[in-house]
Amino acid sequence: MIAAHPEDFQHWRSLARGFIAHGISPEEVMWGSPEEELLFSQAESPPAKQVNFSVPRDFVTLATRASLHRDPSRWSLLYRLLWRLVTESRSLLRQSTDPDVLRLKEMDGEVRRDCHKMKAFVRFRKTPDDRFVAWHEPSHLVVKAVAPFFARRFNTMDWAILTPDTCAYWNRSELLFGPGLTRAHAPVADELEELWKTYYANIFNPARVKVSAMVSEMPKKYWHTMPETAIIAQLLEDAPRREREMIEAARSEKATPHHITQQILKQDGDLEQLRQAAKNCQGCELCHTATQTVFGSGPKRARIVLVGEQPGDQEDLRGEPFVGPAGQLLRRCLKRVGVSPDSVYFTNVVKHFRWEPSPRGGKARLHKRATWRQIDICEPWVRAEIELIKPEVVILLGATALQSLVGRELQIGQHRGIPLSCDLAPRVVATVHPSSLLRMRDNRQQQLEIGRFCQDLSFALEMSHSPLHSSCSGHER
């Protein structure tokens, strides 16, 4: 039995390559930490010899992070996987049900979350000698991995992050590490405490608070190091009152889409007036990041109105709804069931494109789902469109359209392709958004789902020609 004591990932990698080169199986190595006194022989690693193997880059990435996990069996797991990659299959990591692969990815996810929490929850306190010191209790051994982030972010001040395992120090030019300390070495409070509390109180949104989600994202184990948590109980208690005040303030605002659309409808305005008014909408922040308002398009007296979530990249650039890949698929499906796209009115619940930059860089803009606040603010536009058009049938494409216009609790899977009872139109039906069909990777399954989507459209078309049903399924909002 060979006893190996890796100090870090690079040390483990060196030992592991030597073991692999000499054909030493996982069962022949007892992995431990340098601090452990193993009962087995303290044999050195075998002498170096020519190593002629390689492993997928993904393994190195996952293994590097997993090596920071606190599980003492991590080194054994990594060597076992390395051995199997070399002796069994280079595609081992693709076997998602393999127990070793599952555990590796679990460790990777737990370490990544712990790195994120360290970045989010470290709070520096100023000492009398103008240094900044923070106390943090990471779940895993992530200090050395995350410390460079703080060195870049706070490169103009001297700081220290103290933890029970390892301490990180920055002197404005060099990042140093030392042994772990106790919380007694960290300051308890400073004059910045009140600033943190004021900041947190101002960003706290009483209308969006969910205690369970908040505790999940900000576990209570970190609360004693974060000054703002001292006021959470007070903020939660005051949340209902603040939410009522926000609602009343919104109702009193004269430039909201709700007020504008109601004025146009009361004055017997038409669709063109509504379109011109929507061009200048500043109801939410999306108007500042989108290229333009993307209003509905189609006949003013269309029998069928199709409602999606929001415009995409191409729609934002062209100013027309459903002209991108999802729109092209939708138009082909309409033709397939005998409906001319020119006879249909296309629109969205949200009139501006919400996007985020691609993580790969460049000019690509990726779709980002609108928040419920943004959806609620924008919803009056589509309701006014439908009221002016007076269609026979409204087809809701996707969960956002269904939940916004019929009922927040409804699910597409349960209400797809059945008549819904609501005030939008005499006949309302919901189905999936065509973009979900484009995301399917299995070609056969994709074709089956496109066929099912066409059946939903065909059912809606039949409804537009049939008498009103005496009873409808669904829920009223």
Domain ranges for the chain, please list them: 2-114, 122-185, 193-252, 257-465
Q: What is the predicted pLDDT for the residue at 243?
A: 57
Tens-digit pLDDT profile for residues 314-326: 999 999 999 999 9
- Residue 473: is its pLDDT beyond 50? no
Name the nearest CA neighbour of 135 among 216, 232, 227. Answer: 227
In tens, the pLDDT along 259-288 reads 889 888 888 888 999 999 999 888 898 998
Per-residue pLDDT at 477 exceeds 60:
no
Tell me: pLDDT of 347 over 60. yes
* pLDDT tens per residue across span 233-247: 666 666 666 656 655
Model pLDDT for residues 294-304, shown as the tens digit of each residue: 999 999 999 99
Question: Span 170-199, mean pLDDT?
Answer: 78
Smallest Cα–Cα separation from 296: which of 321, 316, 330?
321
pLDDT of residue 398 exceeding 60, the answer is: yes
Which numeric CATH code is attached to 257-465?
A: 3.40.470.10
pLDDT, residue 196, reads 52
Confidence of residue 474 (pLDDT cuts 50, 70, 90): very low
Q: Which amino acid would we find at residue 453?
A: F
Cβ(275)–Cβ(364) below 8 Å: no
pLDDT band at 41 (very low <50, low <70, confident <90, very high): very low
State what percent of residues in the chain have pLDDT above 70.
79
SS (H, E, C) the chain: CEEECCCCHHHHHHHHHHHHHCCCCHHHEEECCCCCCCCCCCCCCCCCCCCCCCCCHHHHHHHHHHCCCCCCCHHHHHHHHHHHHHHCCCCHHHCCCCHHHHHHHHHHHHHHHHHHHHHHHCCCEECCCCCEEEECCCCCCCHHHHHHHHHHHCCCCCEEEECCCEEEEECCCCEEEEECCCHHHCCCCCCCHHHHHHHHHHHCCCCCCCHHHHHHHCCHHHHHHCHHHHHHHHHHHHHHHHHHHHHHHHHHCCCCHHHHHHHHHHCCCCHHHHHHHHHCCCCCCHHHHCCCCCCCECCCCCCEEEEECCCCHHHHHHCCCCCCHHHHHHHHHHHHCCCCHHHEEEEECCCCCCEEECCCCCCCEEECCCCHHHHHHHHHHHHHHHHHHCCCEEEEECHHHHHHHCCCCCCHHHHECCEECCCCCCEEEEECCHHHHHCCCCHHHHHHHHHHHHHHHHHHHHHHHCCCCCCCCCCCC
Q: What does the pLDDT read at residue 469?
A: 37
Average pLDDT over residues 353-377: 88
Residue range 441-462: average pLDDT? Answer: 91
pLDDT computed for residue 282 by the predictor: 86
* Model pTM score: 0.48
Mean pLDDT of all residues belonging to the chain: 84
User: Nearest to residue 235, comparing CAs of 256, 209, 258?
Assistant: 209
319 φ/ψ sector (left φ>0, alpha ψ -120 to 50, else beta): left
Of all residues in the chain, the percent with pLDDT exceeding 90 is 59
Task: Tell me the CA end-to-end span of the chain in Å, nearest whole number.
Answer: 69
Neighbours of 4 (CB within 10 A): 24
Contact 394, 302 (CB under 8 A): no
- Of residues 211 and 419, the one with the higher pLDDT is 419
Return the higher-pLDDT residue of 340 and 357. 340
What single letter denotes the amino acid at residue 2? I
CA 270, CA 251: separation in Å to the nearest integer?
A: 24
| Mean pLDDT across 168-172 | 94
- Token readout for 294 is 């993307």
Distance of CA 463 to the CA centre of its chain: 38
* pLDDT at position 257 over 70: yes
d(CA 322, CA 347): 8
What number is the average pLDDT over the span 329-337?
A: 95
Contacts 24+ apart (CB under 8 A), 82-85: 82/16, 82/20, 82/55, 83/20, 83/25, 83/26, 85/55, 85/56, 85/59
pLDDT band at 378 (very low <50, low <70, confident <90, very high): very high
Torsion angle of the four alpha carbons 409, 435, 370, 196, in this order, in degrees rounded to the nearest 10: 100
Q: Residue 32 is which amino acid?
A: G
- Residue type, position 412, single letter: I
Sheet bearing 166-170, strands edge to edge: 125-126, 132-135, 159-162, 166-170, 175-179
In a 13 Å sphere around the CA of 347, the CA atoms on its Cβ side amount to 29
Q: How far apart are CA 464 and CA 467, in angstroms?
A: 8
CA angle 469, 472, 475 (to 5 degrees): 155
